[in-house]
Amino acid sequence: MKTYESLLDEVTAFSGKTRIILDPATGEMVGEAPVHDLEYLEQAVAGARAAQPAWAASGHDARSAALLKAADAVERSAEELAHILSREQGKPLNGPNARFEVGACAAWLRAAATIRLAPEMIVDDGETRAELHYKPIGVVGAIGPWNWPMMITVWQIAPALRMGNAAVVKPSGNTPLSVLALIKVINEELPEGLLSVVSCGREVGARLTNHPAIGKIMFTGSTAAGKAIIKSSADTVKRLTLELGGNDAGIVLPDADPKAIAQDLFWGAFINTGQTCAALKRLYVHEDIYDAVCEELTAVAAAMPMGNGLDENNVLGPLQNQSQYDIVADLVQAAKDSGARVLLGGNPDTSQPGYFYPTTLVADIDNDNPLVAEEQFGPALPIIKYSTIDEAVDKANGLDVGLGASVWSSDLTTAREVAGRLEAGTVWINRHGAVDPRIPFGGAKQSGYGLEFGVEGLKALGVPQVING
Ligand code: NAD
């Protein structure tokens, strides 16, 4: 039986170089993470290559069975994993946060194990017979961010493993312990060498992106890093799935009910204290109901407790790191300096430890203000007034990213029509950011390419092969 301490001890036991990981809520030490070097990475890749053929040959049923057992293992250690995640990432145990993330890991493992992917008969007309199959790629590199470190790792590795690949994971340097602990638990049910973590700096991790033995990179992170990976993977013509940054717009139509939507608007924007790729980051509200939406949203936001994640009362936590804190603080300051109206927050208490930035709502703000035009990735939401739906759609589509978007209305037909005009990989209606392991998810424009989840997500971890004849 693992405890929080024993699991942490297992993942921090390393005789080489280490790096101290601090709790973003308190500044206290969580543990010392290994800093793996290039040689360690090469061993991980070699181990993956050695384990992959037998795994591929074991077939879909055996692989699915192992992934289902891995999901059970994650559930057995759920509380310990959630504690490590909460202490390292900062997100509270409670609310849609650490326990929720660990639960999602089990759910996505199960989905990847059970979604059916049968060969497709493309043509069978008596003269021509062509069938489409998906073969394993080989070794997949999985590079992830610090905001949902466990869940996003599972999004990358679960379909990779199901499709017969091995995987080498490179977690963010900000959250290596969470990923090391998760993979330790999952590995209770997998063959040796098939799945490993290289807890390294960016430079060592970058080797995965040009390594000749890596067939595909699953990457989730910033658009800038995504562009660097496209370049460095070019010489080996790697397959790529890129889930990059976003700056999602939400459009509230004039017929929406402000009170009825306020809670969902709040969580659409503030899930994981705003540190979510597909969170609502720019809210466009029709002038007829602008004041009412501001009022209802402020009431909901003001009632949400923020603080140390281990306190069961809290549903919002700190920013994960100093640089993200600075980005949020600077963007809100710029908005204040421009004369925008702060409805809530905007006044961090710097005398307390931890990267806590208060829940902030900013009204009467111009569309070209940096808090609107740039990704804040934190608990500060700009609310922009609009007069016509064409104007709202133009503004929503005005950026070069397009991960998610949402439309809020009492009339589904109108909402769907507006949704169809938005340039985003997913458009939600009357909610924002809800992902589902059965439904494909991916970005438009510079938010990336390739789909995750569902049958499309499985296909993305295979090499298509046509058997013609
Ligand atoms: P980041 O791009 O700085 O880092 C992500 C990962 O990539 C880290 O593990 C980092 O070490 C690694 N990395 C960076 N440069 C690299 C390179 N040249 N080669 C190989 N690896 C490299 O992102 P972050 O700060 O960890 O995360 C925040 C960003 O991620 C935000 O922009 C957010 O919108 C985005 N994000 C997107 C999604 C999505 O699904 N689209 C999900 C979560 C986060």
The model's pTM is 0.97
CA dihedral 274, 280, 281, 286 (to 10 degrees): -140
**What string of DSSP letters covers 5-37?**
HHHHHHHH--SS-EEEEE-TTT--EEEEEE---
Atom of ligand 1 nearest to the CA of 146: 26
- Which of 19, 101, 154, 202 is the best mutation target for the ligand 1 pocket, counting ligand atoms within 8 Å of the beta carbon and taking the most? 202
Number of Cβ within a 10 Å radius of residue 47:
18
Number of Cβ within a 10 Å radius of residue 34:
22
Catalytic residue among 80, 189, 243, 452: 243
Q: What is the pLDDT of residues 302-354, one digit of tens each?
A: 999 999 999 999 999 999 999 999 999 999 999 999 999 999 999 999 898 99
**Residue with CA at minimum distance from ligand 1 atom 34:** 245
CA of 116 to the centre of ligand 1 (A): 30
CA of 145 to the centre of ligand 1 (A): 5
- Which of 35, 147, 198, 447 is the best mutation target for the ligand 1 pocket, counting ligand atoms within 8 Å of the beta carbon and taking the most? 147
Q: Which residues of the chain have pLDDT under 50?
A: none
Atom of ligand 1 nearest to the CA of 201: 11
Pocket residues: Cβ below 6 A from ligand 1: 143-147, 152, 170, 172-173, 202, 205-206, 209, 220-222, 225, 228-229, 243-246, 277, 375, 377, 403, 443, 448
- Return the closest-CA partner of residue 7 out of 185, 141, 171, 167: 185
Q: Give CA 41 to chain center in angstroms.
A: 24
Catalytic residue among 105, 200, 277, 294: 277
> 166-170 and 195-197 as β-strands: parallel, antiparallel, unpaired?
parallel
Return the CA Rg of the chain.
22
Atom of ligand 1 nearest to the CA of 447: 41
Per-residue confidence (pLDDT) for residue 459, from 0 to 100: 98
CA of 221 to the centre of ligand 1 (A): 2
Per-residue confidence (pLDDT) for residue 229, from 0 to 100: 98
- Which of 155, 222, 327 is the best mutation target for the ligand 1 pocket, counting ligand atoms within 8 Å of the beta carbon and taking the most? 222
CA angle 210, 455, 63 (to 5 degrees): 75
CB 115 within 8 A of CB 438: yes
Q: What is the pLDDT of residues 383-433, one digit of tens each?
A: 999 999 999 999 999 999 999 999 999 999 999 999 999 999 999 999 999
CA distance 168 to 199: 10
**Residue with CA at minimum distance from ligand 1 atom 40:** 243
The sheet with strand 341-344 has its strands ordered as 341-344, 360-363, 380-386, 280-286, 248-252, 404-408, 426-429
Identify the helix (H) or strand (E) that includes residue 341: strand 341-344
CA distance 299 to 276: 22
Atom of ligand 1 nearest to the CA of 202: 11
CA of 228 to the centre of ligand 1 (A): 11
295 is catalytic: no
Per-residue confidence (pLDDT) for residue 2, from 0 to 100: 81
- Which of 41, 88, 108, 143 is the best mutation target for the ligand 1 pocket, counting ligand atoms within 8 Å of the beta carbon and taking the most? 143
CA of 319 to the centre of ligand 1 (A): 16
Atom of ligand 1 nearest to the CA of 208: 20
**What string of DSSP letters covers 290-327?**
HHHHHHHHHHHHHTS-BS-TTSTT-SB---SSHHHHHH
Atom of ligand 1 nearest to the CA of 324: 25
CB 30 within 8 A of CB 157: no
- Domains annotated for the chain, with CATH where assigned, are 4-244+447-468 (3.40.605.10), 248-436 (3.40.309.10)
CA of 364 to the centre of ligand 1 (A): 31
CA of 343 to the centre of ligand 1 (A): 31
192 is catalytic: no
Atom of ligand 1 nearest to the CA of 243: 41
CA of 303 to the centre of ligand 1 (A): 31
DSSP helix/strand/coil, 379: coil
